[in-house]
């Protein structure tokens, strides 16, 4: 049957595939749209298999908060090249997955991939379809969510870095403070909320490094342990969120800034994703 430009455009709008790919799929499907979509999906599966060993180091990170302000999601979709990552249609696709996640609030990346993207495909199947459209390996490599009285998000320009922070109060004042703390997390990359959240391996390593430095500086061995503990406290101050100097006023720690904003306000959890 004759394939019209209108038919080709309709399939292109549905799938995002190129004009010639859509035309060829419709010709092969004898004008049947569902069959044509399946043909394009199979093309994506073939490309995915072919490019399976390729590295997908580029991509985008997006964080977003629900309308109610008490749920937030953050995810990373990787691709192979910066050319694809900076394309607006790729960003729109990442946003569409974020929208699915915010609507259903999955608890894991596996749950997100299994969710319905539309009335025909799951999120995972849609990603495979887009591999056929784009011609590169795509990998939904990270996903997480935060539930709290208030959640704030920060997306760094360029969408290579994003953060989420959960707060213990749901007030508008807390939301504004949360946005500033979300930017702090992006800039200062804390490893934990407080010193209690730092794993024992990291603590042991920092103590050993502190001892070794003290001995190299000529300090007596019996003093090395005490000096190492002092350096460990400084490590906690610089690398745990609530103890870090607040970037907008380094006379205050983040913990002090939050408490001065609203008595008792603090952070319950945070996330920081970056493509590199």
Distance CA 274, CA 96 (A): 19
**Whole-structure pTM value:** 0.81
Q: Note the CATH architecture for domain 5-50.
A: Orthogonal Bundle (1.10)
**Where does the chain hold its CATH 1.10.8.10 domain(s)?**
5-50
Distance CA 216, CA 225 (A): 13
Where does residue 259 rank: exposed (0-12), middle (13-18), buried (19+ CB within 10 A)? middle
**Where does the chain hold its CATH 3.30.479.20 domain(s)?**
58-193+263-274
pLDDT in tens, the chain (276 residues): 678 888 888 888 877 777 888 888 888 888 888 888 888 877 776 776 666 566 788 999 999 999 999 999 999 999 999 999 999 999 999 999 999 999 999 999 999 999 999 988 899 999 988 888 888 889 999 999 999 999 999 999 999 999 999 999 999 999 999 999 999 999 999 999 999 999 999 999 999 998 888 888 888 877 888 898 899 999 999 999 999 999 999 999 999 999 999 999 999 999 999 998
DSSP 3-state of 72: strand
Give the domain 58-193+263-274 fold.
Answer: Tetrahydropterin Synthase; Chain A (3.30.479)
Count the residues in the chain.
Answer: 276
């Amino acid at each position: 049957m004759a394939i019209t430009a209108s038919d080709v455009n309709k399939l292109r709008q549905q799938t995002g595939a190129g004009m010639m790919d859509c035309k060829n799929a419709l010709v092969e499907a004898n004008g049947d749209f569902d069959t044509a979509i399946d043909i394009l999906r199979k093309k994506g599966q073939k490309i995915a298999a072919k490019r399976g060993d390729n590295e997908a180091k580029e991509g985008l990170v997006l964080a977003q908060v629900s309308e109610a302000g008490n749920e937030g999601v953050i995810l990373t979709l990787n691709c192979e090249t910066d050319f694809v990552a900076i394309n607006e249609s790729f960003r729109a696709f990442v946003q569409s997955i974020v929208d699915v996640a915010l609507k259903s609030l999955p608890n894991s990346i596996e749950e997100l991939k299994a969710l319905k993207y539309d009335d025909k495909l799951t999120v995972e199947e849609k990603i495979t379809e887009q591999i056929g459209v784009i011609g590169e390996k795509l990998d939904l490599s990270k996903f997480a969510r935060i539930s709290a009285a208030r959640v704030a998000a920060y997306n760094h320009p360029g969408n290579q870095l994003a953060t989420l922070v959960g707060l213990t109060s749901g007030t508008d004042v807390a939301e504004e403070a949360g946005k500033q703390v979300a930017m702090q997390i992006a800039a200062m990359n804390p490893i934990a909320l407080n010193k209690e959240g730092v794993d024992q391996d990291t603590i042991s390593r920092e103590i050993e490094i502190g001892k070794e430095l003290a001995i190299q500086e000529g300090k007596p061995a019996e003093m090395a342990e005490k000096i190492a503990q002092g350096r460990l406290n400084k490590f906690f101050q610089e690398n745990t969120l609530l103890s870090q100097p607040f970037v907008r006023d380094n006379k205050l720690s983040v913990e002090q800034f939050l408490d001065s904003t609203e008595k008792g306000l603090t952070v319950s959890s945070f996330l920081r994703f970056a493509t590199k």
